[in-house]
Structure 1
Amino acid sequence: MSVLEARRTDSSPRERAVDPRTGRPRRRIAGIPGHVFLLILVAYFFLPLWWLMVASTKSTAGLFNGDGGALWFDSDFNLWENIVGLTTYNGGEYVRWMGNSALYALVGGTGATVLAVLAGYGLAKYRFRGRNLAFAILLGSVMIPSTALVIPTFVLLSQVGMVNTIWAVILPSLLNPFAVYLMRVYAQDAIPDELLDAARVDGAGEYRTFFQVCLPLLRPAVVTVLLLSVVSTWNNYFLPLAMLNDSRLFPITVGLGVWQGQAIQNSGGQQIWNLMITGAFLSIIPLIIAFLALQKYWRGGLALGSVK
């Protein structure tokens, strides 16, 4: 076999991808169905967000019989008017509800993340009696829906006089079994035991080992748990609905539900459907900002340590 024939037989993938008749690269169609499926999924998840954004620019009349259709803007762009009416309706209670949601999500989400990191790290890297039993109970609690615990939690907090206070929403939000499970699984693989032994040999105590050696390696999981906890607390509806009676303590989810009930009952009076839609749209903006600001940390921290 000549050298030329050998080169033709052992051609590179790039050369085999060229059509010998036209000299143009062959079109690869194997990945087209997968890309089409992904585009369909993107459109499916983006469509409700697009409708919410478009509907927040319409008046109440435009929501039901506008000239732009359900998925496009009307000739009258009323976003600013809706925002002004939203922030001034009933003495600006929407702004108060947004502040309550931010308080519950920040305190509850941060507290749940701290507890999950400490518990997950302890279950992953310390050997103690009853560890497997504790982890089995944790896995069992993950299977229990949070709504099934609202009534027992209400009875418990009512006995200590915490119902209709901010602690009735914050304290239950601190318990997140799935976050503990996630941190335990991540810490088990992300932190080698040899790294801990090396830190201890160098004279580092347990607290210094955790904060300076282990915590940077756990950063992607910490950010993930923080986002999940904040979003879960922000979107929580049934717990504050059962715990709170004072409208001044309502989060945005319960507040918009109250407005919806008023709008349905007051069909012949003042209609606030445009305010509710605008309020729902504004309520998701902080979550989008939080995700965009923290997503870079998901990829970071994976190679911040090494075992020598």
Structure 2
Amino acid sequence: MAATVTTDGPKPVLDKPLMRYGRRTLERLAPGAETPQYRILGISPLTPHIGAEISGVDLSRPIGEELAAELRQALLEWKVVFFRGQAGLQPCHHLDLAAVWGPPEANPFFPEAGTAGVSRLAKDAMAIGNENIWHSDHSFMAAPALGSVLRSVEVPSAGGDTMWADMGAAYDNLSEKMKARIENLAAVHDWVPSWGSTMTGEQIADFRTSLPPVEHPVVVRHPRNGRRLLYVNEPFTTRIVGLSDTESRELLDELVLQARVPEFQVRFHWEQDSVAIWDNIATQHYAISDYFPRRRVMERIAVAGVPLS
């Protein structure tokens, strides 16, 4: 969309304002929620509303119910949480940690790391640029992944950070007119435009039998706290149901920009033996592909989700 910029005023004049100016609404908690208290975990926020580093826990040790409850609460509050110095974490511990939220969910397009449910993501010269787009994991499934647990196996000396965007904030900062417009809309999510771009027609047909296009509300309610969230993303959301192709494309082009607002984001610099856990419904993420020719090797477990409403 073209913009006309004046040289004598304090701000640009847009022929169509894609994002509103002024103060951002940045609420960490769902409406009406009380501020949690923690007895075990140390919480160090990276921003006021999304992302916190957690100390005081060795993830290779057994996770009791009190610790599990605090981990669940921390993720619900901060949407993505980080741990450093977890050298003792093995695949069995990785699975136990993910089980705090639910059973593992395989990604049909990722190779497993030798342990069922654990996917190995090795990014090098053959994978440059593949991961640098804002997205929600598995939104092309009828019950998208509730979350993911990612640990670093090999990290580059510089670069390779990951960013997360708070999709509650993305929704909160839409205009009231836009909120009303999208409240009851649904969108189609499909893996073919992204994952299918490297497949043959026969391979696409094979996957299509178990992974048809699915529909999700454009505005979803978080399954655990009821917070309204904007649920569209660039690679997997293909159209808005009930709109013309042109109107659907224009609306999606506007909505996906919300993930790109810096005030809604947190950025994490990986070190060896770091772990990130994120709420895949409340956030989108973006793996920054800036480390070629160095390697970045991660292991990930996705947590099975539920249909969204």
TM-score (normalizing by structure 1): 0.19
Q: Which structure carries more strand by proportion?
A: 2
Highest RCO, 1 vs 2 (Cα 8 Å, sep ≥ 6): 2
